[in-house]
Structure 1
Amino acid sequence: MTGFETSNLIYNHRIMAAAFTKSKLKPPLLIVFLCHKIKSNILTSTRNCHQEKYNNRRCR
């Protein structure tokens, strides 16, 4: 990840945080969205890990 991408990520989080504090209706949606993103990332990484283990087992 480049410095530009990192600063862009931080900027996006700031915008989200601002939207979060301004509105009382949007936070639940924002939380659900963020949780979903985090969950999907975790699921993808664990799936990849399991796949690697499975492949290694098959090779031996």
Structure 2
Amino acid sequence: MCLLVEPSLFEKTELGDFQAINDPKTTLSELDKSAQERMYLKLVEEIERITSSCN
């Protein structure tokens, strides 16, 4: 799971095969502060979901 912070060529690299938590066309740096906070929350929730299924 990736969180794309700045615009990049993510989709054109081998990493592009991995799912990003955010849309590669809308990176964290392009969001306002409240949208960034929601993205962090989404990431934490996804990490919790994945780790809870491992227990």
What TM bracket, shorter-length normalisation?
Answer: 0.5 to 0.7
**TM-fit CA distance, 1:8:** 3.1
Structure 2 gaps of 5+ residues are 1-14
TM-score, structure 1 as length reference: 0.49
For residue 7 of structure 1, report the CA deviation from its aligned partner.
2.3
What is aligned with 2:39?
30
Identity rate, percent = 5
Q: RMSD value over aligned CA atoms?
A: 3.0
After TM superposition, the runs of 4+ consecutive aligned structure 1 residues lying more than 4 A away are none
Q: Write 1 or 2 for the structure with the bigger share of helix.
A: 1
Count matched residues.
40
Structure 1: which 5+ residue stretches go unaligned?
Answer: 1-5, 47-60
